[in-house]
Amino acid sequence: MAVSAPAPAGARRPRLQTLLGEQPIGYLFVAPFVIFLIAIYAYPFFYSIYMSFYDYFFAAPGAVVDRPFVGLANYTRAVQDPLFHIALRNVVIFLLINVPVTVVVAMVLATALNAAIPLRSFFRAAYYVPYVTASVAAVSIWLWLFGGPGLVNKVSGPLAPNPTWLVNAFWVMPIIALYVTWKGLGLYILLYLAALQNIAKELYEAASVDGAGRIRSFLVVTVPGLRPATLLVVITSVITGANLFTEPYLLTGGGGPDNQSVSPVFLLYRQGIEQNHPGYAAAMGLLLVLGVLIVSAINRFVLERE
């Protein structure tokens, strides 16, 4: 601690300070966090690169086993795996439903909330409740609503699909996408609400001088002003779609029907842990990280072009 004591003008130890900075005790303060980041993020990341080149499998602790180097075999296997294709297709389906619904509903509700209206904090809290709820609990409600004997089938009567929603190959991904959209929407409403505060009032005044009505000024001022928030929706949607686990595991009973609702992370779990091919799962995981990085880069590019 003595190191951090302030040095009154002209003290004798400026050399250490020019080398390490004014408060070297900062190293001590930040050390646990840095160790944590290395142990939980950096090291596992590099370890998974290592695993992905081997036919890695679990063995009893301490047992010496031969885990042969297989080069790119895990990667070529992933690229050719029809289940991995379904998982990626499901991310696309998820994206196509999640993004438009989130953007439209969150924009409308945030704009409506962005005024001196009664019950403002009630609405804000209400929209946020699904977001803070455990996914296992929220999935339970949707299981009950959309299950065979559930309320949705009772209400929709003859319009209900056969087989029922969660075991219907066509409906299963749209239902998952709607569920996740419902659960996460509160966050985006608040994000849009915050973004609305950053749109300069002058823009609206200019628009109204130019004769723009309420709807026109929404389209020419509000929508472009919210663009950064909208791009954030796109990128988180890709990440969320790739990371779905509770939904295919619980809501559709293990990626069913007939693997039509598998997600990439669900496949990682099944291959890497259930079926003891962590090397293969690591390769799939790294392909996904690459995909996420590419999407982020595109996102960045579009954002900075503005």
Partner 1 sequence: MATVTATEPTVAARPEPAQTPEQGEHGWLRWVRLIPLFIGALVFILPFYYMVVSALQKDPNPNISGAFPNPNKLSLDNLVNINNAISLPRTLLNSGLFTGGVLLATLVFGVLAGYALAQLHFRGRQVVFYTMILLLVMPFQLLIIPLYVLIARNFGLADTLLGMILPFAINPTAVFIFRQFFLQLPKDMFEAARIDGASELTILTRVVLPLTRPAILTALLITFIGPWNEFLWPFLITKKLSLQPLAVALANFISTSAQRGPNPYGAILAGATVLAVPVIILFLIFQRRFVESSIGSAVKG
Q: What are phi and psi of 54, to 5 degrees?
A: -125, 160
Binding segment toward partner 1, per CB under 8 A, in 66-74, 96-104, 115-123, 160-168: 115-123
282 binds partner 1 (CB under 8 A): yes
For residues 126 and 169, which CB has a smaller minimum distance to partner 1 in the complex?
126
116 binds partner 1 (CB under 8 A): yes
- Does a cis peptide bond (omega within 30 degrees of 0) precede residue 163? yes
214 binds partner 1 (CB under 8 A): yes
Binding mask 231-270 for partner 1 (x = CB under 8 A): -----x--xx-xx-xx--xx--xx----------x--xx-
Residue 208 to residue 214: CA distance in whole angstroms: 8
Nearest distance in Å: CB 129, partner 1: 6
Residue 132 to residue 129: CA distance in whole angstroms: 5
141 binds partner 1 (CB under 8 A): yes
Q: Which of 16, 72, 79, 126 binds partner 1 (CB under 8 A)?
A: 126
At 47, which helix (H) or strand (E)? helix 43-52
* Interface positions, 149-208, toward partner 1 (CB under 8 A): 149-151, 153-155, 182, 184-187, 190-191, 193-194, 196-197, 201, 204-205, 208
Residue 148 to residue 255: CA distance in whole angstroms: 17
Nearest distance in Å: CB 222, partner 1: 8
Nearest distance in Å: CB 301, partner 1: 15
3-state secondary structure 241-297: HHHCCHHHHHHCCCCCCCCCCCCHHHHHHHHHHHCCCHHHHHHHHHHHHHHHHHHHH
Nearest distance in Å: CB 10, partner 1: 14
Question: 43 to each of 36, 47, 53, 69, 106, how far by Cα in Å?
Answer: 10, 6, 16, 20, 38
Structure tokens, 136: 């296992």
Q: What are phi and psi of 186, to 5 degrees?
A: -55, -40
Q: Which of 73, 83, 93, 105 binds partner 1 (CB under 8 A)?
A: 105
Structure tokens, 121: 């904090």
124 binds partner 1 (CB under 8 A): yes
117 binds partner 1 (CB under 8 A): yes
292 binds partner 1 (CB under 8 A): yes
For residues 10 and 118, which CB has a smaller minimum distance to partner 1 in the complex?
118
* Interface positions, 15-74, toward partner 1 (CB under 8 A): 19-27, 29-30, 32-34, 36-37, 39-41, 43-45, 47-48, 51, 56, 58, 61
Structure tokens, 234: 């796109």
Residue 191 to residue 114: CA distance in whole angstroms: 12
Is the Cβ–Cβ distance between 138 and 130 less than 8 Å? yes
Number of residues in contact with partner 1, rule: CB under 8 A? 118
- Does a cis peptide bond (omega within 30 degrees of 0) precede residue 61? no
100 binds partner 1 (CB under 8 A): no
For residues 82 and 118, which CB has a smaller minimum distance to partner 1 in the complex?
118
